Structure 1
Amino acid sequence: MSNIVTDTTIYTGKPDCTGRLQKETGTYDLLEKLGIEYFRLDHKETNSIDDCHEVERLLEIEICKNLFLCNSAQTRFYLLVMPGDKKFDTKAVSRQIGSTRLSFAHAEHMERYLNITPGSVSILGLMNDGEKKVGLLIDRDILKSEYFGCHPCVNTSSLKIKTNDLLTKFLAYTGHSPSYVEL
């Protein structure tokens, strides 16, 4: 048995929210409101893509790598969503979006704009970016999968959501239009 997953039960729908953070329960509430179905696996804290391999196997998905980035002046912020097995090439992404060299943004900005902490970065955090301070960048390879894997704004659960629902229903609700990149 893994040290990350102790109960291999796959759930559908919202859990009993007793003891869960509001940012997680708010995610489930929004997905329910938007009519987005999902599969959920609860697990111990995952802090990296490497920690997610058993979660991926059980949910039969690839958990996406979500990177919170900024330009060199720290005036523009981006959420880059890419396959977990790809390497981040800052020069290539910066060139494709016409930005100065991108680097990892500070945790304070992540919490301020997305209400998430390092290790829990997720496209679902865009629901907290009402001012549209964060640009969304999606690697084109994400579009090839029927399902999308991500955290519900905390890294103690993982979700399997239809990619189309995420791109059409969720992003339509948040008002974020993705820019597509190739890594």
Structure 2
Amino acid sequence: MELYKGRPENTDGRQEREIRVYDCLDKLGIEYERTDHEHADTMEACNEIDEVLNVLICKNLFLCNRQKTDFYLLMMPGNKPFKTKELPAQIGSARLSFASEEFMVEYLDIHPGAVSVMGLMNDTDNHVRLLIDEDVLKGEYIGCHPCVNTSSLKIRTKDIVETFLPAVHHDMTVVKLTGE
């Protein structure tokens, strides 16, 4: 795997959803580094990518309430275990579960294994609430997929929080997860 600055020169064979991410980041003037790789749809597969990007890839979980009326994108360190019981009281929601692929595609235009904060650019009606574990915000960079799981990006955390999120009209809720 190689590390590249910015978007791929040749976009042949790349999905439209991936190209839209590069277009969005470039329009916002957000610098990023990128690596291309085989399908990486598990945290284990992301370990090698972490080394190339020199960043910890975020674990991104797409969650919903029992009624399937409230949806959440949770960003947390990839090496931290997720314990569902830690979250509901912090966000004022009842029991949470993983949302279906149907909602993931409808709201974020992403399929399982490629869930990423970048998908919020497709959530123009703000169906999805972004939750970020406080430990993610401590890092200088965030590693994420550009809405496909065959590339990964390294973006400054500050650029995600201060430029990207306001541009896509999303706020964030900071949560504290211990993984215990």
Report the TM-score when normalising by structure 2.
0.97
Cα RMSD after superposing both structures: 0.6
Answer yes or no: is 1:113 the counterpart of 2:107: yes
Q: Which residue of 1 aligns with 2:173?
A: 179
Q: Which residue of 2 aligns with 1:124?
A: 118
Question: For residues 1-183 of structure 1, what are the structure 2 equivalents within 5 Å?
Answer: 8-15=1-8, 16-183=10-177
Q: Which residue of 2 aligns with 1:3?
A: none
CA distance in 1, matches of 2:88, 2:58: 20
CA distance in 1, matches of 2:82, 2:69: 21
C-alpha deviations, 1:123-160, integer Å up to 9, x for none? 00000000000000000001110010000000000000
Amino acid aligned to 2:3: I
Q: Which runs of 5+ in 1 are unaligned?
A: 1-7
**Corresponding pairs, count:** 176
Amino acid aligned to 2:5: T
Q: Does the residue aligned with 1:54 lie in a helix, a strand or coil?
A: helix
Segments of 4+ in structure 1 off by > 4 A?
Answer: none
Q: Which residue of 2 aligns with 1:5?
A: none
Structure 1 residue 58, shift from structure 2 partner: 1.0
Q: Which runs of 5+ in 2 are unaligned?
A: none
Q: Does the residue aligned with 2:87 lie in a helix, a strand or coil?
A: helix
Report the TM-score when normalising by structure 1.
0.95
Q: Does the residue aligned with 2:171 lie in a helix, a strand or coil?
A: coil
